[in-house]
Amino acid sequence: MSLDNYLYLSAILFTIGAVGVVVRRNAIVVFMCIELMLNAANLSLVTFSRINGTLDGQVVAFFTMVVAACEVVVGLAIIVTIYRSRRSASIDDASLLKR
């Protein structure tokens, strides 16, 4: 099987994630979509590592996972706090930046 297929899959996953971030309102879902995009990127990194025959891509993939883990902690904390104070997990409600 050609390694290209992994890249296609990665592109499809990334697109699904991106569309999800843009379209959905529930913060948890948006968050999951972001995770999906990160993992899509991981998949392509590992694939490239395989294509090139070096370990660089895999190393970067590990870094991405670490960052993703940290991001989950912080992001979920924010979401939970917002939910506690507003009784809503809709990201459109948290729009205090405008004016």
Binding site for other proteins (CB under 8 A): 18, 21-23, 25, 30, 91-92, 94-99
We find the least distance from the C-beta atom of residue 1 to other proteins, in angstroms, to be 26
Cβ of 58: how many Cβ atoms within 10 Å? 14
Q: Which is nearer to other proteins, 1 or 32 (CB)?
A: 32
**The dihedral formed by the CA atoms of 45, 47, 53 and 59, expressed in degrees to the nearest 10:** 30
Q: Which is nearer to other proteins, 43 or 79 (CB)?
A: 79
Encoding tokens for residue 30? 């948006």
Residues 62 and 46: beta-carbon distance below 8 Å: no
Q: How far is the CB of 53 from other proteins (least distance, A)?
A: 22
Is the CB of 25 or the CB of 86 nearer to other proteins? 25
Structural tokens at position 29: 């879902």
The answer for residues whose C-beta is within 8 angstroms of residue 60's C-beta and 6 or more apart is 45
The minimum distance between CB 95 and other proteins, in angstroms, equals 3
**Residue whose CB is less far from other proteins, 17 or 39:** 17
